[in-house]
Amino acid sequence: MNASMLSRQDHAEAAYELRYSSLLEQDRVFVFPCDEAGHVDIDALDAHTRLNYFYARTVIGREFARPVVAPVTLH
Mean pLDDT of 53-59: 98
DSSP letter, residue 47: H
Q: What is the pLDDT of residue 56?
A: 97
**Whole domain around residue 23: which residue ranges?**
8-71
pTM of the model: 0.77
Helix (H, G, I), strand (E, B) or coil at 12: helix
- 24 within domain boundaries: yes
Q: Is the pLDDT of residue 2 over 60?
A: no
- 3 in a domain, yes or no? no
Summarize the confidence of residues 37-55 as an average pLDDT. 97
- Residue 2 is assigned to a structural domain of this protein: no
Residue 62 lies in a domain: yes
- Inside any domain, residue 51: yes
42 within a domain of the structure (yes/no): yes
The per-residue pLDDT for range 4-44, each reduced to its tens digit, is 444 444 444 569 999 999 999 999 999 999 999 999 999 99
- In total, how many domains does the chain have? 1
Q: How many CA atoms lie within 13 A of 1 on its CB side?
A: 9
pLDDT score, position 73: 79
